[in-house]
Amino acid sequence: MAGGAFVDTAGGKQYPGKLTLYVVFTCVVASTGGLIFGYDIGISGGVTSMDPFLLKFFPEVYRQKQAASKSNQYCQYDNQLLQAFTSSLYLAALVASFFASTVTRVLGRKWSMLAGGFTFLVGAALNGAAQNVAMLIVGRMLLGVGIGFANQSVPVYLSEMAPAHLRGMLNIGFQLMITIGILAAELINYGTNKIKGGHGWRVSLALAAVPAVIITVGALFLPDTPNSLMERGHPEASRRMLRRIRGTDDIGEEYADLVAAREISKQVQHPWRNILMRKYRAQLTMAVLIPFFQQVSGINVINFYAPVLFETLGFRGDASLLSSVMTGGVLVLGSVVSMFTVDRLGRRKLFLQGGAQMLVSQIAVGTLIAVRFGTSGVGEMPRGYAAAVVLFICVYVAGFVWSWGALGWLVPSEIFPLEIRSAGQSITVSVNMFFTFVIAQAFLTMLCHMKFGLFYFFAGWVVVMTTFVAFFLPETKNVPMEEMVLVWKGHWFWSRFIGDADDIHAGVSVIAST
């Protein structure tokens, strides 16, 4: 055979080339966009458990907290305004992701990252200087705009730069940076809580500027992806960039597929309308259900409110913050595991194994809480029970991070054809942010009313989402993005939505040459 692509066992092509240092550098820099998302996730729960912060902005919650030891501990943090402090960010991110879609498509992925980092920086400054709840909420909304832009562009950038056989590992760099941001925030909260004078919360909120500066400056040095350059009408620049990132001159087959994808893309004047077409039914379904399932798994109960949750269960002061640091450490380790297994084991195996692990852990945590607090919410958590709760929460977090945590961003970013990619990723981010907002706004109230049953509620959703993956998500490892239509065409269910003419941009599935 002459040089070119070959067919792998997944039904897609593998192009010539290697993992170059240039690709590693650009993917590491782009992945730092996850730091802003992770830092905010980790910082909000710790700050809302600090007494000086509550006294200044939410005195009613502070009074509830002081009286909780003699009453229903499930309800000590139940306050809509306090939940709005956390959730407002994600509502802003939802709206911003729609604008980010246009920026990403018209100007390129790097400028969307730059806009996200800068806006997040402004929000961090406003939060650190906040004097009232209004300033807090406005600052949080600016943070949300930044996250909406970064989450829309970074996963797509990573998937487009990476060689197909390493796309999973490099894309999960985004999830790794999210978890590093969470751990850093929880360590900072643990330290700032000890600052005398009650201003530690200001330091925690203001330090969000650090990851914002990292991604803002880093984005200035990033090149555009070959896919983006081709999409925006720069074929020669796309060819040069493709040659550089693959480390070979033998790019003819991959470049030809990019050209074909561009020709299809030029015919699409309204990607938001086209994504509703029958032939994109599988991708649209995944863009909606994967981020939805990611949020109803219950992970943000831990991510947002870990210190609050641990205090509700009887962990006081530094103990609640330290316990959340432990879960943050597990998030980082789990992300590393996912990076080095996703391209070997595949997406489906990690989804299914992680789902089983999450299910067992949720049931165990709910049962332990039920035994000690019942439905009254009055009780104590002995040291042995407390250790068991922390252990099972860590097991749950590990299962999530190497399955739905990492793959919830990876899979949607790799399945869309070029002509609807920006719109598809925008839908993914918007659905994710909407249900993140719902969970963040409702969790403390749900905990108050559903009590330990809340953990069984999330366990039920884990059953549903794991079953969905088992039947409806095909394996996408090792398949080039412009060949992904072959995966759906070979699936027992989704193939009924795709006709023979719908894979024209993918090229011929078997390359025969002499």
The tokens describing 441, both together, are 């706004």
Q: Which whole number is the average pLDDT over 89-117?
A: 86
In single-letter form, the type of residue at position 116 comes to G
- Residue range 23-81, pLDDT digits in tens: 899 899 898 888 988 898 888 877 887 889 888 888 887 887 776 555 566 666 667 78
Predicted pLDDT at 312: 59
Predicted pLDDT at 275: 86
What does pLDDT average to over the chain?
Answer: 82
Of 369 and 216, the structure prediction assigns the larger pLDDT to: 216
The tokens describing 423, both together, are 């719109």
DSSP code of residue 12: S
- Residue range 399-412, pLDDT digits in tens: 998 899 889 888 98
Predicted pLDDT at 512: 30
Predicted pLDDT at 304: 58
Q: Which whole number is the average pLDDT over 426-440?
A: 85
In sequence order, what are the residues at sequence separation of 6 or more whose Cβ sits closer than 8 angstroms to the Cβ of residue 232? Answer: 106, 108
The CA distances from residue 337 to 163, 173, 340, in Å, are 20, 11, 6
The CA distances from residue 415 to 140, 169, 419, 504, in Å, are 31, 16, 12, 16
Predicted pLDDT at 60: 84
- Residue range 127-172, pLDDT digits in tens: 999 999 999 999 999 999 999 888 888 888 888 888 888 888 888 8
Q: What angle do CA 121, 21, 341 make, to 5 degrees?
A: 85
Whether the predicted pLDDT of 507 surpasses 50: no
The tokens describing 514, both together, are 């002499």
Residue 169 and residue 49 in contact, taking contact as beta carbons nearer than 8 Å: no
Residue 336 and residue 183 in contact, taking contact as beta carbons nearer than 8 Å: no
Q: Which whole number is the average pLDDT over 340-362?
A: 93
Q: Which whole number is the average pLDDT over 240-255?
A: 86
Q: Helix, strand, or coil here: 49?
A: coil
Whether the predicted pLDDT of 508 surpasses 60: no
- Residue range 294-304, pLDDT digits in tens: 989 988 777 65
CA distance 366 to 359: 11
Question: Could you tell me what percent of the chain has a pLDDT over 70?
Answer: 85
